[in-house]
């Protein structure tokens, strides 16, 4: 076997077989000694140089030096890998220890937290928290709320109509993904007798999608019915609510507006909780923040739900939960709330 072949074989054995098999830095070093050490296999080949004729000696010498350099380079590369592995496993062990001490904790979504905070405040004010289905009868979502057949909200372009199950007695148009939480008013009035004080919180659906609108969002609905309930009670309740929620006295104001299920109807604003009404970037300098709609329950709604409008009066309000969450956490794009990007959600530890 010529020197050439044995050199190539040695190089292969060291670089391709033994070094990769070395699992620790010590093993890699032992391997290096076996080949490159004073009595190493490559070193032994060097000793054969002396026996060669001078003209061959130079080329052979060069070949041996190149082989040694390749071995050194392979050794350094293997050591770098092994060092990185050792470091990673040391870190891994460290991580394990902290994991035992503080297991990672999930947190509540900002909308869920806002929803629970609203339930707490209204609960403390004597309101029952009630629920309603997402798939709703068009009758409850529209007709019984005095929203006539020609109202634009009923358009296919605005509302998700749900195809009824085959063979059921419902036709297309009878079932919708509720467009607001107001149908829970209808369900409550049909099930309970006054006095009624409820809030209904939940998901609603509309064909809308941009930075400030999402096809799926969340609302809260409030309803109060008794004898001699007035718009003044409504205003006082909203005042108490915003003041309790933001933990400082905040004024509420009404602006005349129209919703088919209330008369009179209003939109209501609260004094900006961030500047106290002086004007800031959140309230865009106005000192007020728009919250939602409200008004006195329309007699037609009472009649549709079997409540005597001669004896009882009531008020209702509705506003967006997501907007409230955005306000509290200074979130500027509604879509962030629903993309479920963990990097965003992690910014709201409980």
The distance between the two most distant Cα atoms of the chain, rounded to a whole number of Å, is 125
Q: Are 296 and 222 in contact (CB under 8 A)?
A: no
> Residue 215 half-sphere exposure, CB side, CA atoms within 13 Å?
8
Q: Which of 48, 39, 54, 51 is nearest to 5 (CA)?
A: 48
How near is the Cβ of 161 to ligand DAH at its closest, in Å? Answer: 17
* Closest distance of CB 95 from ligand DAH, Å: 48
Closer to ligand DAH at the Cβ: 144 or 221? Answer: 221
Helix or strand run (H / E) with residue 107: none
Q: Is 293 in a helix, a strand, or coil?
A: strand
- Positive or negative, the CA dihedral 297, 326, 214, 137 is negative
For residue 313, give the nearest of 329, 323, 302 by alpha carbon.
302
How far apart are CB 145 and ligand DAH at their closest, in Å? 8
**DSSP label at 15?**
I
* Between 182 and 243, CB nearer to ligand DAH: 182
Nearer to ligand DAH, 78 or 180 (CB): 180
Distant-in-sequence, close-in-space partners of 248: CB < 8 Å, separation ≥ 6? 273, 276
d(CA 188, CA 200) in angstroms, rounded, equals: 10
Rounded least distance, CB 101 to ligand DAH, Å: 47
Minimum CB–partner distance for residue 94 and ligand DAH (Å): 52
- For ligand DAH, give the closer residue by CB, 71 or 270: 270
Q: Cβ contacts of residue 339 below 8 Å, gap of 6+?
A: none
Identity of the residue, 194 or 293, whose beta carbon is nearer to ligand DAH in the bound complex = 293
Return the number of the residue (7 or 304) whose C-beta is nearest ligand DAH: 304
Q: Which positions touch ligand DAH (CB under 6 A)?
A: 180, 182, 221, 259, 262, 292-295, 316-318
CB of 96 to ligand DAH, least distance (A): 51
Best CA proximity match to 302, nearest among 289, 316, 292? 316
Instruction: State in angstroms the smallest separation of the CB of 262 from ligand DAH.
Output: 4
Closer to ligand DAH at the Cβ: 43 or 214?
A: 214
Give the integer Cα–Cα distance in Å for 346 and 350: 10
* CA-wise closest residue to 292 among 198, 185, 196, 218: 218
Output 273 or 293, the one with its CB closest to ligand DAH.
293
Q: How far apart are the first and last CA of the chain?
A: 74
What is the nearest approach in angstroms of ligand DAH to the Cβ of residue 234? 9
In the complex with ligand DAH, which residue's Cβ is closer, 35 or 315? 315
Give the nearest distance from C-beta 301 to ligand DAH in angstroms: 10
Catalogue the E-assigned strands of 178-287: 196-205, 216-226, 252-257, 262-271
């Amino acid at each position: 076997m010529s020197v050439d072949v044995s050199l190539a074989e040695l190089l292969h054995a060291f670089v391709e077989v033994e070094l990769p098999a070395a699992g620790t830095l010590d093993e890699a070093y032992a391997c290096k000694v076996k080949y490159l050490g004073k009595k190493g296999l490559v070193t032994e080949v060097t000793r054969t140089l002396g026996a060669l004729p001078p003209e061959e000696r130079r080329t052979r010498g060069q070949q041996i030096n190149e082989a040694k350099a390749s071995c050194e380079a392979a050794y350094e590369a293997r050591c770098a890998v092994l060092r990185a592995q050792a470091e990673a496993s040391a870190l891994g062990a460290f991580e394990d220890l902290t994991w035992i001490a503080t297991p990672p904790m999930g947190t509540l979504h900002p909308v869920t937290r806002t929803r629970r905070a609203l339930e707490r405040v209204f609960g403390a004010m004597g309101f029952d928290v009630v629920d309603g289905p997402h798939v709703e009868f068009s009758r409850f979502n529209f007709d019984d709320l005095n929203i006539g057949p020609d109202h634009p909200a009923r358009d296919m372009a605005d509302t998700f109509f749900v195809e009824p199950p085959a063979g059921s007695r419902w036709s297309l148009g009878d079932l919708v993904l509720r467009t607001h939480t107001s149908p829970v008013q209808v369900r409550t009035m049909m099930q309970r007798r006054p006095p009624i004080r409820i809030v209904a919180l939940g998901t609603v659906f509309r064909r809308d999608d941009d930075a400030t609108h999402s096809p799926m969002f969340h609302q809260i609905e409030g309803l109060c019915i008794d004898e001699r309930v007035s718009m003044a009670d409504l205003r006082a309740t909203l005042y108490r609510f915003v003041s309790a929620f933001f933990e400082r006295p905040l004024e509420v104001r009404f602006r005349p507006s129209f919703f088919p299920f209330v008369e009179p109807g209003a939109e209501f604003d609260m004094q900006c909780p961030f500047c106290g009404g002086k004007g800031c970037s959140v309230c865009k300098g106005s000192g007020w923040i728009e919250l939602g709609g409200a008004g006195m329950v329309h007699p037609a709604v009472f009649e549709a739900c079997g409540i005597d409008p001669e004896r009882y009066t009531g008020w209702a309000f509705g506003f967006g939960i997501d907007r409230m969450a955005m306000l509290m956490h200074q979130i500027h794009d509604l879509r962030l709330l629903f993309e479920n990007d963990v990097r965003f959600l992690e910014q709201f530890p409980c």
